[in-house]
Amino acid sequence: MKALVGKVALITGAGSGGTGTAMAVRFAAEGAKVALVARNEEGLENTAARIRQLGGEALVLPCDLGDPAGGRDTLIARTEAAFGPIDIVVNNAVKTDTKRFWEYSLEDMQSDGEVNLWAPMIIIQQATQSMIDGGRPGWILNMSSMGAELPPGPPFNVKLTWQSTLYGAIKSAVNAMTVQGAVEMKPHGICMNTLAPQRSILTKRMHTSETVKDKSICEPMETMAEAALALCTGDVETRTGKICLSLQLLVELQRPVYDLTGTHLLEGWQSADIIKAIQYREDWTQRYLKWPNPYEFKRPQTPYPDVLRRPGRWEEGSANPTFPDTRIK
């Protein structure tokens, strides 16, 4: 039985062929009717075509989420007019400027805030009001980032080379909004979570990126789509208010990872493989960023599965830790 038959989903940032597109195709393969949002209408049409090839239904909604007058305040109404009551919202659209902290202009702050925080909040408000009025459960998923996490210290030895303080600050706000909002929504049967890649996602852009030279720390879009699906089909009583990392969540749930059509298991990315992939990313982060134990936050919102623990692996203050090759072969 497909998990999303009869459900209506809206996914932003679904026009570039990246993570949003992957989620949209995966959700459609599970039976959802999917509304697609982005500025790039041609990209949205390409995503819609992929969905229709699977026999699914797609609605193209071109919209500049950064423009308060660009139509973002009617996205839920337009989706419901075409498909019926909304069940799922995935806020995946993103905008980021990489500059040093003191170089951000007020325009940068306002522009990034509109896309990454205010637009998602407006869409969530409209969707949850519809869910509450209709007396039905719902699922909200907001995309986050490791950039939202606080580096270890002081003293600060970590190397933050990506120059995205503004992005990290906004994603921290998204995490807080999500957890606190989840508490308010729980009595209405609506769950809300955040999802971040374990490190980076191997999108088309990442293939040619000079920023991330070691592509082995990138996970496939399929793992992000599978983790998103898990958070948009889970128990609204218990799987809510979580700040999730993609691969870690899949291990926690012992969830099989399928291709975007939902028909074949993705080779090399099942639970045993993913454990090795996470450990490689831990080692990479310790080695190059001087950030030990990057994924063990000691908070219930982000469980660290016991199977990931390596006794004796980390020694407090160790200057020369060992780095076994845990990359997927």
Catalytic residues: 167
- For residue 299, with 0-12 CB atoms within 10 Å meaning exposed, 13-18 middle and 19 or more buried, which class applies? exposed
Q: Which amino acid type is present at position 134? A: G
Number of helices (H), then strands (E), in the chain? 10, 9
Q: How far apart are the first and last CA of the chain?
A: 33
H/E element holding 58? Answer: strand 57-62
Q: What string of H, E and C letters represents the secondary structure of 265-324?
A: ECCCCCHHHHHHHHHHHHHHHHHHHCCCCCCCCCCCCCCCCHHHCCCCCCCCCCCCCCCC
Phi, psi angle pair for 11, to nearest 5°: -130, 125
- If we measure between CA atoms, which residue out of 182, 180, 196 comes closest to residue 243? 196
